[in-house]
Amino acid sequence: MTIEQFGAWTAASSPDRTTAASDATRVAATEQQLAERQLVQRAAEGDSDALAKLYDLYAPGLHRVLLAILSSPEDAEDALQETFVKLLDGRMSRAQNTKAYLFSSARHVALDILRRRKREQNHVDETVEPSTSDFNHDLPELLRHLPMEQREVIALKVFQEMTFEEIAVVVKARPNTVASRYRYGIEKLRQWLREEDNDG
């Protein structure tokens, strides 16, 4: 490096120049935040153009994050729409950082969806519990008419009196899936018995 090059490099990297660049960056960021807060305020007041601008600005990034959290395009789209609907309640107009608020709000919406999804998966009807007395025939013999996945669920439910959650652990399936196999299997057995009675 020549003396002239060294002098140019030191001038370009001088503290004054660096400080000035940092100040300019902060000013630009502040101005952007102010502009976005104005858009938020207008959106809360019913300005559809302002809401559209915010959507165009943040929707792509929000959707990518929501899709990563939810692993479902449909749920991610629902969460995205719900996030922007919340803009209309006016609370976001008090946020200092629009981007941070939006992503935080989207995350809360996604977690709510995950909690609802878990409740739906765990909520299964345990009230229908037919026993061997429901059938005049020998149940183990009847089970031969069913696919293995339905046979094992009915056997565990009826003979071992296990819950759907317990059976789900044994067969490595979701409780709702187990409940469906159980109900379909029982219905098939009853249909088979009705047909046999009609034939008789």
pLDDT tens-digit map of 93-115: 677 778 888 888 899 999 998 88
Q: Is the pLDDT of residue 65 over 70?
A: yes
Going by pLDDT thresholds of 50, 70 and 90, the confidence category of residue 79 is very high
Stretch 160-176: mean pLDDT, rounded?
Answer: 87
Helix and strand counts by DSSP (H, E) for the chain: 9, 0
pLDDT tens-digit map of 126-167: 555 544 455 555 777 788 888 999 989 988 888 888 888 889
pLDDT of residue 72: 86
pLDDT of residue 56: 92
Stretch 163-190: mean pLDDT, rounded?
Answer: 88
pLDDT tens-digit map of 13-50: 555 555 555 665 665 556 777 778 788 788 778 888 88
* Predicted TM-score (pTM) above 0.95: no
Least confident stretch, 77-91, 135-149, 173-187: 135-149
Residue range(s) in the chain whose domain bears CATH number 1.10.10.10: 132-199
Instruction: Answer yes or no: are the C-beta atoms of 86 and 46 closer than 8 Å.
Output: no
Question: In 3D, which of 169, 139, 137 has the Cα closest to residue 155?
Answer: 139
Instruction: Answer yes or no: are the C-beta atoms of 39 and 50 closer than 8 Å.
Output: yes
Q: Provide the mean pLDDT of the chain.
A: 77
Q: Is the pLDDT of residue 77 over 90?
A: yes
Q: Which CATH class is domain 132-199?
A: mainly alpha
Going by pLDDT thresholds of 50, 70 and 90, the confidence category of residue 9 is low
Which CATH architecture describes the domain 26-122?
Answer: Orthogonal Bundle (1.10)
pLDDT of residue 11: 53
The token pair that represents 30 in the structure block: 């502040």
Instruction: Return the residue matching tokens 């302002």.
Output: 50
Cα dihedral 7, 10, 13, 18, rounded to 10, equals -100
Going by pLDDT thresholds of 50, 70 and 90, the confidence category of residue 1 is low
Q: Please, what sign has the CA dihedral across residues 124, 130, 132, 137? A: negative
